[in-house]
């Protein structure tokens, strides 16, 4: 057998492996810094937690050719205007509740999780809550007693009672409201929000 050509030699590929890995990782690190700063709470893509004091909608944007969240004027949650600190506290309680109750092993959030129950990315805007006036009350009742407020659309598949307290339910609702304001590049597509019925 002849000498192994350079492109087929072990040492050539060893060096290539090292450079390719290091290079890719470096690019990932740079992109990570950029992404984290562009998506911190309070950025244009991920609004500040005080967005729960405002009206949120989700519509098709002709110019951008995709669905986009629309942040409107004041629309208080539970008739209260939250300060920055209070809003963050409330959303934090909600987020921790979603983790402690394992919502993500039935539902998807931002499309990630399990496929046994509806996606919650825009749950705040779902027409299932009938009207803007009834929404908060219905959500509270549903989260605290999903069994007796079940909808199931004929499937018989109910959400179980997860012993969510009223305070936790309020936190969850604030969290869902805040999450619905995140710019998710148009996912979900074709969603009809509760607002579009009302006009």
Which parts of this chain interact with ligand HEC (CB under 6 A)?
97-98, 101-103, 106-107, 116-118, 120, 123, 126, 128, 150-152, 157-160, 162, 172
Determine phi and psi for 87, rounding to 5 degrees.
Answer: -65, -45
Round to whole Å and give the CA distance between 70 and 35. Answer: 22
Query: Using the rule CB under 8 A, which residue among 68, 70, 109, 138 binds another protein?
Result: 109
Query: Using the rule CB under 8 A, which residue among 77, 82, 113, 144 binds another protein?
Result: 113
Strands 66-74 and 108-109: unpaired
Query: Using the rule CB under 6 A, which residue among 114, 130, 134, 167 binds ligand HEM?
Result: 114
Burial of 166 (C-beta count, 10 Å sphere; 0-12/13-18/19+): exposed
The CA distances from residue 42 to 37, 45, 48, 108, in Å, are: 10, 8, 4, 24
Which two three-digit tokens encode residue 72?
């409107």
Q: According to the binding rule CB under 6 A, does residue 100 interact with ligand HEM?
A: no
Shortest Å, Cβ 159 to another protein: 9
Interface mask toward another protein for 15-34; x: CB under 8 A: -xx--xx--xx-xx--xx-x
Beta strands in the chain (DSSP E): 54-61, 66-74, 108-109, 112-113
Q: According to the binding rule CB under 6 A, does residue 25 interact with ligand HEM?
A: no
Which two three-digit tokens encode residue 86?
């209070």
* Contacted by 140, from another protein, ligand HEM, ligand HEC, none: CB < 5 to 8 Å by type: none
Q: How many residues does the chain have?
A: 199
Q: According to the binding rule CB under 8 A, does residue 53 interact with another protein?
A: no
Shortest Å, Cβ 196 to ligand HEC: 16
User: Residues in the site for ligand HEM, rule: CB under 6 A?
Assistant: 112, 114-116
């Amino acid at each position: 057998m002849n000498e192994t050509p350079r492109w087929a030699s072990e040492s050539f590929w060893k060096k290539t492996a090292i450079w390719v890995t290091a290079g890719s990782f470096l690019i990932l690190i740079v992109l990570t810094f950029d992404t984290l700063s562009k998506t911190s709470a309070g950025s244009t893509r991920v609004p500040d937690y005080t967005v729960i004091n405002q009206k949120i909608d989700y519509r098709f944007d002709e110019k951008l050719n995709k669905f986009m969240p629309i942040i409107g004027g004041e629309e208080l949650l539970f008739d209260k205007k939250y300060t920055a600190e209070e809003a963050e506290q409330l959303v934090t309680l909600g987020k921790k509740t979603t983790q402690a109750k394992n919502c993500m092993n039935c539902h998807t959030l931002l499309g990630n999780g399990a496929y046994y129950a509806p996606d919650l990315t825009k749950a705040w805007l779902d027409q299932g809550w009938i009207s803007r006036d009834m929404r908060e009350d219905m959500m509270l009742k549903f989260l605290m007693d999903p069994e007796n407020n079940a909808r199931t659309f004929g499937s018989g598949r109910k959400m179980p009672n997860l012993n969510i307290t009223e305070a936790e339910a309020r936190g969850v609702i604030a969290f869902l409201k805040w999450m619905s304001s995140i710019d998710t590049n148009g996912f979900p597509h074709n969603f009809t929000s509760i607002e579009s019925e009302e006009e």
